[in-house]
Amino acid sequence: MTYFQIKNLSFRFPSSPFHIHSLDLSVQKGELVGFLGPNGAGKSTLLRLMMGLLKPQKGEIFVEQLALSFIGLRERAQKIAFVAQSTDFPFPLSVWEIVEMGRHPFLGRFERMSAKDKSICEKALELCDVSGFKDRLYSELSGGEKQRVLLASALAQTPEALLLDEPTLSLDLEHQLRLFEIIQNLHRTEGLTVIVATHELNLANRFLDRLVLMKNGKIEADGKPNKVLTPPRIQSVLNVEVDLLKDRKKMSYFVPKVQKAVKN
């Protein structure tokens, strides 16, 4: 069943050329998809359009056959959760206060969190492996922990689909792996439709089921990781020559050739 259906989508920021060009894409319910591509390819913009944070100039996005522009903000937040690149907040916030925010779309103006809302938050913390520091201040956490708290806040929305914008940015290797493991686990056990915009070729290749390779606001390739990620295509899209290595389990790894960044 199709969850996201994107039809002829075009978007530009004011006073800029088009950033997304008549793009078509559909994502099935329960898929685990990665958006890959160089900086400025339109990955983050596409995610924001899919969350309704930006309005397209042309085309439409359908969520389960329903046009996104006809779904109210609260209703949207009940279905889809968006995790932006790890940010800092201007005022001190505790981990619990951030996770609580995820229940906002379900609560009436004067309604308090019920025991059920609280247990949803607890479960979200647990799934993201951060239940230990409920009362700690967000600003005092490490980058990896911050990212997992933001993910927990998104899960507290009990969404059907999860959109993540470069969740592993500036994380060390261990935390990158841990985050992708959590994402994979969510997909498997909770049946979430997950879309991750990322620069991590090897992690995407290893953890995700389908990859969409983008450049200049267009889709260059779309399919199973081993079909999409080939050295020639990586060179043409990312402008980097790579070597393809295989481990004993036949898993592919891409290693950039030293000082072989192609100059145009």
Residue ranges binding another protein (CB under 8 A)? 51, 53, 73-78, 81-82, 84, 87, 89-94, 96-98, 101-102, 104-105, 107, 109-110, 135, 157
Instruction: Please identify, using beta-carbon distances, which residue of 5 and 86 lies nearer to another protein.
Output: 86
Instruction: Please identify, using beta-carbon distances, which residue of 162 and 228 lies nearer to another protein.
Output: 162
Instruction: Please identify, using beta-carbon distances, which residue of 22 and 139 lies nearer to another protein.
Output: 139
**What is the closest distance, in whole angstroms, from the C-beta atom of residue 77 to another protein in the complex?**
3
Instruction: Please identify, using beta-carbon distances, which residue of 163 and 186 lies nearer to another protein.
Output: 163
**What is the closest distance, in whole angstroms, from the C-beta atom of residue 14 to another protein in the complex?**
10
Instruction: Please identify, using beta-carbon distances, which residue of 17 and 90 lies nearer to another protein.
Output: 90
Contact between 213 and 36 (Cβ < 8 Å): yes
Contact between 202 and 222 (Cβ < 8 Å): no
CA distances, 244 to each of 48, 213, 225, 241, 247 (Å): 33, 18, 13, 10, 10
Amino acid at 125: L
**What is the closest distance, in whole angstroms, from the C-beta atom of residue 131 to another protein in the complex?**
15
**What is the closest distance, in whole angstroms, from the C-beta atom of residue 256 to another protein in the complex?**
32
Cite the beta strand spans of 130-251 per DSSP E.
161-165, 193-197, 210-215, 218-223, 240-246
SS3 157: coil
The total of other beta-carbon atoms located within 10 Å of residue 172's CB is 12
Residue 38 has φ and ψ, to the nearest 5°, of -70, 170
**What is the closest distance, in whole angstroms, from the C-beta atom of residue 220 to another protein in the complex?**
28
Beta-bridge partners for 160: none
